Amino acid sequence: MSTMTYSDAGKTALAECMRADPTIWAVGEDLGRGGVFGQYMGLEEEFGPERIVSTPISEAAIMGSAVGGALTGTRPVVELRFADFALCAVDEMVNQAAKARYMFGGQAKVPLVIRQPSGMWRSSAAQHSQSLEAWYTHIPGLVVLMPATPVDNYGLLKAAIECDDPVVYMEHKDLWSLEGEVPGGHTVEIGKAHVVQEGRDVTIVTWSKTCHVAAEAAGTLAASGTSVELIDLRSLWPWDRECVLASAAKTGRLLVAHEAVRDGGFGAEVAATAAEEIAGLKLARLGAPRIPIPYAPPLEDTVRVTAETIVGAVERLTQGVRGR
């Protein structure tokens, strides 16, 4: 068991996988210098520029080379710097990587990890702050993962690298310095949610940084007598329907909260599935308004899902329940 940051947990997982399997390599801009957030620092010194590959600024070329490498027997880990920049490589992801196994009747596979630093971070503004996970959950053939903690960034990245399908792996930029205990050698099962805490009155389902915001809200609610069951989905596709439905059936109330835009967000899929399966369920969704993310901090704060907004949504769902 070691204490490490979210960033170092991912770096450690990648390094351990590369030591064990010579077909694994990483590719992206400035990786030889450690990556834009330092999450590759020191890896070129250990593995050399043939396996820690720094590229020109062309996301389409980066992704295209990685898809080709995956199809011919290697296991690339692609670093796309910011999730927003991945949009320059959507054709390679969506029309090539996601469909190759199906198009070739199972004779080809694309074991590819696409790391996309995601979310709001230090006034990065509209072109560097987006949470676009719902786009990728819509695409057959893609796996979508969003770790919220160092232990999951270690275990989920290992699972992603071992997966034989293309994985969109979204790490929240505001979590790089988050510290936590990480047991060595473990992996996290893809498609398995984490019940952060059990409760009786309301289920909150979330992922990525919003999981920590929801935990803060759950503490506030507990002080006033409302018991929250908090679920970190962490794997958006496949997602753990059984865990969510069992919890929502138990509490009778479901709140889905995420940093991404509320309209068309993946929270709508979770809420709709629960509504179809559980008669009489009370539910609500929280997410960002459908506007570009502002640069100015006071305006940026109006877009965020906060502990206060989560508390307010839960109080509306549980009127007459608290204190029992």
Place of tokens 């919890």: 247
Determine the Cα–Cα distance for residues 42 and 52; give it in Å rounded to an integer.
10
Reported as type and span, the H/E element at residue 282 is strand 282-288
Determine the Cα–Cα distance for residues 54 and 185; give it in Å rounded to an integer.
28
Determine the Cα–Cα distance for residues 64 and 76; give it in Å rounded to an integer.
11
**Among this protein's residues, is 186 annotated catalytic?**
no
Task: Give CA separation, 242 vs 94, 151, 274, 322, in Å.
Answer: 28, 23, 10, 26
Strand partners, 288: 261
Tell me the two tokens of residue 208: 């990525």
Active-site choice (128, 172, 194, 258): 128
**DSSP calls for 221-266:** HHHTT--EEEEE--EEES--HHHHHHHHHHHSEEEEEEEEESTT-H
Task: Give CA separation, 194 vs 14, 207, 244, 274, in Å.
Answer: 22, 10, 10, 18
Determine the Cα–Cα distance for residues 62 and 53; give it in Å rounded to an integer.
10
Burial of residue 57, with CB atoms counted within 10 A of its CB: 0-12 exposed, 13-18 middle, 19 or more buried? exposed
Reported as type and span, the H/E element at residue 95 is none
Cis peptide before 238 (omega within 30 of 0): yes
Tell me the two tokens of residue 171: 């790490």
For residue 51, the SS3 value is: coil
Determine the Cα–Cα distance for residues 84 and 143; give it in Å rounded to an integer.
18
Catalytic residue IDs: 128
